Amino acid sequence: MKAQIGQKAPLLSVSAWVQGTEVNFDRLTGQVVLVEVFQVNCPGCFLYALPQAVSLYRKYSEHGLTILGIATAFEDFDKNNLENLTRLAEQGEVVGETLRVLSQQGKLSAGRLPYRIPFPLAMDRLLRQRGEVSDNVIANFIQNHITEFEQQPKAHQQQLRQQVLHYLQSLDRHAETFERFELKGTPSHILVDKQGILRDCAFGAYPELEARILGLLQE
Protein backbone atom coordinates (compact mmCIF):
# COMPACT_ATOMS: atom_id res chain seq x y z
CA MET A 1 0.00 0.00 0.00
CA LYS A 2 1.45 3.33 -1.08
CA ALA A 3 0.95 6.40 1.08
CA GLN A 4 -1.38 9.15 -0.11
CA ILE A 5 -1.85 12.57 1.46
CA GLY A 6 -5.33 12.81 2.97
CA GLN A 7 -5.66 9.02 3.37
CA LYS A 8 -4.96 6.68 6.28
CA ALA A 9 -1.20 6.44 6.72
CA PRO A 10 0.20 2.97 5.95
CA LEU A 11 2.13 1.39 8.78
CA LEU A 12 5.85 1.94 9.10
CA SER A 13 7.92 -1.09 8.12
CA VAL A 14 10.69 -1.59 10.66
CA SER A 15 13.39 -4.25 11.00
CA ALA A 16 14.41 -3.39 14.57
CA TRP A 17 13.81 -0.87 17.33
CA VAL A 18 17.05 0.26 18.97
CA GLN A 19 15.51 2.76 21.38
CA GLY A 20 12.08 3.11 22.93
CA THR A 21 9.01 0.89 22.78
CA GLU A 22 7.89 -0.66 19.49
CA VAL A 23 4.97 1.39 18.20
CA ASN A 24 3.13 2.28 14.99
CA PHE A 25 0.39 4.56 13.70
CA ASP A 26 -2.40 2.13 14.61
CA ARG A 27 -1.45 2.49 18.29
CA LEU A 28 -1.13 6.28 18.27
CA THR A 29 -4.71 7.41 17.62
CA GLY A 30 -5.28 10.74 19.37
CA GLN A 31 -1.65 11.79 18.95
CA VAL A 32 -0.09 13.95 16.25
CA VAL A 33 2.82 11.89 14.92
CA LEU A 34 6.01 13.22 13.33
CA VAL A 35 8.32 10.63 11.80
CA GLU A 36 11.82 11.90 11.08
CA VAL A 37 13.37 9.77 8.36
CA PHE A 38 17.15 10.10 8.19
CA GLN A 39 20.31 8.28 7.21
CA VAL A 40 23.17 7.81 9.64
CA ASN A 41 25.56 8.96 6.90
CA CYS A 42 23.66 12.20 6.15
CA PRO A 43 25.24 15.40 7.51
CA GLY A 44 22.17 17.53 6.76
CA CYS A 45 20.04 15.23 8.88
CA PHE A 46 22.22 15.99 11.89
CA LEU A 47 22.84 19.66 11.14
CA TYR A 48 19.19 20.74 11.14
CA ALA A 49 16.53 18.00 10.90
CA LEU A 50 17.30 15.96 14.02
CA PRO A 51 18.07 19.03 16.19
CA GLN A 52 14.73 20.49 15.04
CA ALA A 53 12.97 17.24 15.97
CA VAL A 54 14.64 17.17 19.40
CA SER A 55 13.49 20.75 20.02
CA LEU A 56 9.93 19.89 18.98
CA TYR A 57 9.96 16.84 21.24
CA ARG A 58 10.99 18.95 24.22
CA LYS A 59 8.26 21.51 23.53
CA TYR A 60 5.30 19.34 22.61
CA SER A 61 5.77 15.71 23.65
CA GLU A 62 3.63 16.34 26.74
CA HIS A 63 0.99 18.12 24.67
CA GLY A 64 -0.03 15.41 22.22
CA LEU A 65 2.96 15.07 19.88
CA THR A 66 4.74 11.75 19.33
CA ILE A 67 8.04 11.77 17.43
CA LEU A 68 9.65 8.66 15.94
CA GLY A 69 13.03 8.45 14.25
CA ILE A 70 13.40 6.00 11.35
CA ALA A 71 16.89 5.44 9.99
CA THR A 72 16.73 4.37 6.36
CA ALA A 73 19.26 3.48 3.66
CA PHE A 74 19.22 3.98 -0.09
CA GLU A 75 23.00 4.34 -0.49
CA ASP A 76 26.21 3.80 1.50
CA PHE A 77 24.88 0.57 2.97
CA ASP A 78 28.18 -0.03 4.76
CA LYS A 79 27.47 3.03 6.93
CA ASN A 80 23.67 3.36 6.91
CA ASN A 81 23.05 0.19 8.88
CA LEU A 82 21.64 -1.15 12.13
CA GLU A 83 25.04 -1.39 13.82
CA ASN A 84 25.79 2.31 13.36
CA LEU A 85 22.25 3.30 14.33
CA THR A 86 22.67 1.36 17.57
CA ARG A 87 25.95 3.17 18.28
CA LEU A 88 24.20 6.47 17.62
CA ALA A 89 21.38 5.63 20.03
CA GLU A 90 23.54 4.20 22.80
CA GLN A 91 26.66 6.34 22.62
CA GLY A 92 25.93 9.33 20.38
CA GLU A 93 28.52 8.13 17.85
CA VAL A 94 28.32 9.31 14.24
CA VAL A 95 30.16 7.99 11.19
CA GLY A 96 31.29 8.79 7.66
CA GLU A 97 30.37 12.16 6.17
CA THR A 98 28.31 12.99 9.23
CA LEU A 99 31.38 12.63 11.43
CA ARG A 100 33.55 14.62 9.03
CA VAL A 101 31.16 17.54 8.54
CA LEU A 102 30.05 17.83 12.16
CA SER A 103 33.68 17.69 13.30
CA GLN A 104 34.63 20.49 10.87
CA GLN A 105 31.78 22.65 12.15
CA GLY A 106 32.50 22.02 15.82
CA LYS A 107 29.18 20.29 16.41
CA LEU A 108 30.59 17.32 18.35
CA SER A 109 31.79 16.90 21.90
CA ALA A 110 34.66 14.42 22.27
CA GLY A 111 33.68 13.05 18.88
CA ARG A 112 30.05 12.43 19.85
CA LEU A 113 26.76 14.29 19.63
CA PRO A 114 26.48 16.76 22.52
CA TYR A 115 22.83 15.77 23.05
CA ARG A 116 20.83 12.57 23.31
CA ILE A 117 18.08 11.83 20.82
CA PRO A 118 15.14 11.42 23.23
CA PHE A 119 12.50 9.75 21.06
CA PRO A 120 12.19 6.13 19.82
CA LEU A 121 14.56 5.08 17.04
CA ALA A 122 14.17 2.23 14.57
CA MET A 123 15.75 0.87 11.40
CA ASP A 124 13.78 0.80 8.17
CA ARG A 125 13.22 -2.68 6.75
CA LEU A 126 15.68 -3.27 3.91
CA LEU A 127 14.70 -5.77 1.26
CA ARG A 128 17.10 -7.44 -1.13
CA GLN A 129 16.51 -6.47 -4.76
CA ARG A 130 15.11 -9.31 -6.82
CA GLY A 131 14.78 -9.64 -10.57
CA GLU A 132 14.95 -6.97 -13.23
CA VAL A 133 14.17 -3.29 -12.73
CA SER A 134 10.79 -2.79 -14.40
CA ASP A 135 9.72 0.12 -16.61
CA ASN A 136 7.17 1.12 -13.94
CA VAL A 137 9.89 1.36 -11.28
CA ILE A 138 12.00 3.53 -13.60
CA ALA A 139 8.99 5.74 -14.43
CA ASN A 140 8.11 6.19 -10.73
CA PHE A 141 11.69 7.13 -9.89
CA ILE A 142 11.77 9.71 -12.70
CA GLN A 143 8.43 11.16 -11.60
CA ASN A 144 9.60 11.56 -8.01
CA HIS A 145 13.16 12.75 -8.62
CA ILE A 146 13.57 14.41 -12.04
CA THR A 147 11.63 17.64 -12.57
CA GLU A 148 10.57 18.73 -16.07
CA PHE A 149 11.49 15.35 -17.49
CA GLU A 150 8.75 15.54 -20.14
CA GLN A 151 10.11 18.88 -21.36
CA GLN A 152 13.48 17.34 -22.24
CA PRO A 153 14.33 16.30 -25.83
CA LYS A 154 13.52 12.66 -26.57
CA ALA A 155 17.18 11.71 -26.90
CA HIS A 156 17.94 13.23 -23.49
CA GLN A 157 14.92 11.46 -21.96
CA GLN A 158 16.29 8.14 -23.16
CA GLN A 159 19.71 8.98 -21.73
CA LEU A 160 18.13 9.83 -18.37
CA ARG A 161 16.16 6.57 -18.37
CA GLN A 162 19.40 4.63 -18.91
CA GLN A 163 21.10 6.52 -16.08
CA VAL A 164 18.17 5.79 -13.75
CA LEU A 165 18.22 2.12 -14.77
CA HIS A 166 21.93 1.82 -14.02
CA TYR A 167 21.48 3.60 -10.68
CA LEU A 168 18.61 1.34 -9.62
CA GLN A 169 20.52 -1.75 -10.70
CA SER A 170 23.41 -0.64 -8.50
CA LEU A 171 21.24 -0.77 -5.40
CA ASP A 172 21.26 -4.13 -3.69
CA ARG A 173 18.60 -3.23 -1.13
CA HIS A 174 15.29 -1.38 -1.04
CA ALA A 175 14.13 0.52 2.06
CA GLU A 176 10.48 -0.42 2.53
CA THR A 177 9.19 2.56 4.56
CA PHE A 178 11.17 4.98 2.40
CA GLU A 179 9.57 3.58 -0.74
CA ARG A 180 6.11 3.10 0.80
CA PHE A 181 5.90 6.84 1.47
CA GLU A 182 7.64 7.66 -1.85
CA LEU A 183 10.19 9.86 -0.13
CA LYS A 184 12.69 11.81 -2.21
CA GLY A 185 15.71 11.69 0.08
CA THR A 186 16.84 12.42 3.61
CA PRO A 187 15.98 14.12 5.81
CA SER A 188 12.26 13.62 5.23
CA HIS A 189 9.36 14.37 7.52
CA ILE A 190 6.13 12.31 7.71
CA LEU A 191 3.28 14.08 9.49
CA VAL A 192 0.16 12.20 10.61
CA ASP A 193 -2.84 13.70 12.40
CA LYS A 194 -4.76 12.45 15.44
CA GLN A 195 -7.01 10.27 13.29
CA GLY A 196 -4.05 8.58 11.59
CA ILE A 197 -4.45 10.53 8.35
CA LEU A 198 -1.28 11.35 6.43
CA ARG A 199 -1.07 15.12 6.23
CA ASP A 200 2.39 15.71 4.76
CA CYS A 201 5.56 14.09 3.45
CA ALA A 202 8.27 16.74 3.09
CA PHE A 203 11.90 16.47 2.03
CA GLY A 204 14.74 18.70 3.20
CA ALA A 205 14.55 21.79 5.36
CA TYR A 206 11.06 22.37 6.76
CA PRO A 207 10.90 25.75 8.56
CA GLU A 208 7.07 25.60 8.69
CA LEU A 209 7.07 22.28 10.54
CA GLU A 210 6.40 23.70 14.01
CA ALA A 211 3.47 25.76 12.74
CA ARG A 212 2.02 22.70 10.98
CA ILE A 213 2.32 20.66 14.17
CA LEU A 214 0.67 23.36 16.28
CA GLY A 215 -2.22 23.47 13.82
CA LEU A 216 -2.71 19.71 14.02
CA LEU A 217 -2.48 19.72 17.83
CA GLN A 218 -5.32 22.25 17.92
CA GLU A 219 -7.62 20.23 15.66
- For 124-136, the DSSP string reads EPEEE--SPPPHH
Are 151 and 58 members of one domain? no
Same-domain status, 115 and 193: yes
Q: Are residues 39 and 146 in the same domain?
A: no
The type of residue at 215 is G
d(CA 194, CA 31): 5
Range of the domain at 166: 130-170
Residue 89 lies in a domain: yes
pTM of the model: 0.81
Query: How many domains does the chain contain in total?
Result: 2
In whole angstroms, give the CA distance from residue 100 to residue 52: 21
Residues 6+ apart with CB under 8 A from 37: 70, 72, 124, 177, 178, 181, 183, 186, 187, 188, 189, 190
Instruction: Please report, in tens digits, the pLDDT of each residue of the chain (219 residues total).
Output: 789 999 999 999 999 999 999 999 999 999 999 999 999 999 999 999 999 999 999 999 999 999 999 999 988 888 999 999 999 999 999 999 999 999 999 999 988 999 999 999 999 999 876 567 788 888 988 988 898 899 999 999 999 998 888 777 766 678 999 999 999 999 999 999 999 999 999 999 999 999 999 999 999
Distance between CA 49 and CA 43 in Å, rounded?
Answer: 10
At 192, which amino acid appears?
V
* pLDDT tens by residue, 125-135: 998 765 677 88
Which strand (E) or helix (H) includes residue 71? strand 65-71
Q: Is the residue at 3 inside a domain?
A: no
pLDDT tens across 174-205, in order? 899 999 999 999 999 999 999 999 999 999 99
Domain check: are 93 and 198 in the same one? yes
Burial level of 71, CB count in 10 A (0-12/13-18/19+)? buried
Q: Is residue 64 part of a domain?
A: yes
In a domain, 56, yes or no: yes
